[in-house]
Homo-oligomer: A and B are copies of this chain.
């Protein structure tokens, strides 16, 4: 299977997940600003998940940029990742509609952890096929960033029962870590071009 079809399918699924999340923002019956008040936490959780899905879409592309052929293992590792990402609308809605209560905030973190693990598995599957000397293997290295943020999500799960704000703070912090471009990867990619 060529990479393009797998990318196109993944793009489709990600695009739909992003847009379906918006359906959790139920149109209020009230027509004043107070009517928007219960929508606010749903909106904030939507913003957070939108950014996460944007990050995954971005990283997903980087992952397959150096990949030529897709094996059965890569294909299912990719579907496994999409599975956990497809649960984002559910956990986002549950967390948002209940004003960031402890259990929904912890479950949100659980799905983040599972998606991060699924991403690491996919990364390993591609490197296993491309070889230890491939551009991807060198650029990613031991993927300390991926493992670090996974630790953030993991810590956030018990912390959500102490204070959901701390857990959410960790989610925001991890997202910021991904948003700031990684100079090492950029450099590797630059090098490759030359």
CB neighbours of A93 from chain B (8 A): 27
Question: Taking A11-B9, A98-B31 as contacts, is the C-beta distance between A22 and B61 under 8 angstroms?
Answer: no
Interface residues in A, total, Cβ within 8 A: 56
CB neighbours of A12 from chain B (8 A): 11-12, 15-16
A13 near B9 with CB under 8 A, answer no
CB neighbours of A33 from chain B (8 A): 103
A6-28 contact mask (Cβ, 8 Å, vs B): 1 or 0: 01110111111111101111011
CB neighbours of A76 from chain B (8 A): 54, 179
The A contact surface, by secondary structure, is helix
A49-74 contact mask (Cβ, 8 Å, vs B): 1 or 0: 01000100110010001000000100
B20 near A103 with CB under 8 A, answer no
- State which of B7, B28, B35, B181 has its C-beta within 8 Å of the C-beta of A72: B181
A103 near B9 with CB under 8 A, answer no
- Identify 25 residue pairs between A and B in the complex whose beta-carbon atoms are under 8 Å apart, listed by A's number: A5-B7, A8-B8, A8-B11, A9-B11, A12-B12, A16-B19, A16-B20, A17-B19, A18-B86, A19-B20, A19-B86, A20-B23, A22-B87, A22-B89, A24-B27, A25-B90, A27-B90, A31-B98, A31-B103, A36-B107, A47-B83, A54-B76, A54-B79, A58-B75, A72-B181
| A interface residue numbers (CB < 8 A to B) | 1, 5, 7-9, 11-20, 22-25, 27-29, 31-33, 35-36, 47, 50, 54, 57-58, 61, 65, 72, 75-76, 79, 82-83, 86-87, 89-90, 93-94, 97-98, 101-104, 107, 179, 181, 186
